[in-house]
Every structure is written in structure tokens, then in C-alpha cells.
Amino acid sequence: MTKTYQLTGTNITLEDVANIANARPGEVKLEIHPDALAKMNKSRQVVLDIVKKGKPVYGINTGFGALASKQIANEDLEQLQYNLIRSHCTGVGKAFSREVTRAIMLSRANCLIQGFSGVSPEIIQLLLEFINHNLNPVIPEKGSVGASG
């Protein structure tokens, strides 16, 4: 029987994380709770409004680190995001286990579901679908930098 979890960003326990991480295909289904989805959509709209107005905001339409004061043109924002992903996807060492990988993905999704990051709900839905369908990326134990958001 499939157990469904509607994630709000604050309602899962460590026991839930362990159960989901260790679940076999078809045993769990993860969804975004409608209230959390509304909060995420509202947060996403804030980001879109910032971009539309051209107001410089770190992490949205500026460079990073030493380039924080450099505003990025709207037509270059997609490339900025690709470059950011590429700069973070370096790692070495043994890959995390399936269970640890699932716990990492769940924890990341659960954090972003809180609606404070302005991330597109479709991205989180895709992450949850990876977990739901037992699609687990290879994540090296040692990475280049931490994640924010």
C-alpha cells in the first residue's frame, strides 16, 4: 500500500525522512500540500516582479561573491542560472547510498517548499517525482560548495 505525504515544509519528522529514504518503489508518494503550493507561488511571483522591475537583488539578477555589485541583464539571467548550477555540480569521492541520496533530495525539497526561496514549484514537483519514481542521481560525498536557498 502506498503512503502519501503532503509536504508543507514543516510537517515531516526525522522518522518520516528515514521511512521515505528507505521506501521501496511504490511504497510512498510525495506531494506538495496545496497551502504550501500557494505560498511557493506567491514567493515565486515576488522574484518574477523583481526581474520585471529590474531592481538589483543578490542571487536573482546580480553576480555572486566579488561580482555581487554587477547587475545581470534580464536576457542573460537564464545563462546565469545555468552557470551557477555548473559551478556547484563538482564533486569527488564515493557516491552516497540510495537512501542517503533520497534523504538529501527530500530534505532539500522540504526546505524549498516553505516558500522562502522564490523557486519555481515545478522544480520541486520534479524533485518529488524523482523520489516517487525511484530516480536517484549519483551524488559524490565531497562537493565543491554548499547550497543556499
Name the residues annotated as catalytic.
58
Q: Is 114 exposed, middle or buried (CB count within 10 Å of its CB: 0-12, 13-18, 19+)?
A: middle
Q: Is 74 exposed, middle or buried (CB count within 10 Å of its CB: 0-12, 13-18, 19+)?
A: exposed
Contact 105, 130 (CB under 8 A): yes
CB atoms closer than 10 angstroms to residue 52 = 9
